[in-house]
Amino acid sequence: MGVSDRNKTIGDHNMKLFRLCPFWQTATNSSSSPSTQNLNHSHKGSSNSVRHVAVNSSGLKSTTVSSVARSLLPAPRRLRLDPANNLYFPYEPGKQVRSAIRLKNRSKSHVAFKFQTTAPKSCYMRPPGGILAPGESLIATVFKFVEQPENNAKQMDQKSNVKFKIVSLKVKGGMEYVPELFDEQKDQVTVERVLRVVFLDAEHPSPAMEKLKLQLAEAEAALEARKKPPPDTGPRVVGEGLVIDEWKERREKYLARQHVEAVG
């Protein structure tokens, strides 16, 4: 018998055995399939868990980064300032000069504000603080004494070490302003702006100087309006003077009649 015939005989024999025992295939598939499925399931589960951990890790990282970023960002400003960065003063050495700045509440709540300066002995503000309703504005006046320059030279560009700072605080409507509000709620205080001093030549006109004059005039008008007493709205007696005059006239006629009778 040749080699090819022998291989064919062996193959036929194996085929008969496979047909006689078909459960081998089922057993093999059933025995191998669960293990394979479990392995695949465990692999998928591990990959899902890794992916879940990665998502949580990335989410935690992003949350941490966003919170750090929010802490580094400046707090939103509640006031709009005009001028925004400087306080302009006319340069007059040896005199007390004035500057003006407009403050407007740009938020939707009541806001308390307060001026601060590094030179309280030579500078002061009017008003030094107050409370603004939503959308309300006012012009504050800042007073400063200008010192004489060295060697009696006129130095328009001299740098001043004096700084002004405006801070704000969100408050409830109807409250009265007291400076202690900023000490009681330090964590809620926002620094609106640190202003630097800029001197203007008082002898030469400029847009900045004209704007300063207009703001100072408006601040003076507002101050005079606040000084006026409120109008008296109480009840008034109409015709009181007429009644008194008529009574006097009748009394004089009565006395004159008594005098004539006495003489007669």
| Helices (H), ranges, 133-206 | 180-184
CA-closest candidate to residue 105, choices 131, 74, 85: 131
The size of the chain, in residues, is 264
The predicted-structure confidence for 175-194, as pLDDT tens digits, reads as follows 999 999 999 999 999 999 99
pTM of the model: 0.59
pLDDT at 203: 87
Q: What is the DSSP letter of 108?
A: S
Q: What is the DSSP letter of 127?
A: S
The predicted-structure confidence for 15-66, as pLDDT tens digits, reads as follows 554 454 444 444 444 444 444 444 454 445 545 544 444 445 445 455 565 6
The three-state secondary structure class of 73 is coil
CA distances from 144 to 6, 87, 120, 199, 262 (A): 120, 10, 10, 11, 80
The three-state secondary structure class of 107 is coil
Burial (CB < 10 A; 0-12, 13-18, 19+), residue 249, is exposed
List all residues 6 or more positions away from 155 whose beta carbon is below 8 Å from its beta carbon. 149
| Residue for token pair 């030279």 | 153
The predicted-structure confidence for 147-177, as pLDDT tens digits, reads as follows 888 766 555 555 678 899 999 999 999 899 9
User: Which domains are present in the chain?
Assistant: 79-227 (2.60.40.10)
Distance CA 13, CA 195 (A): 104
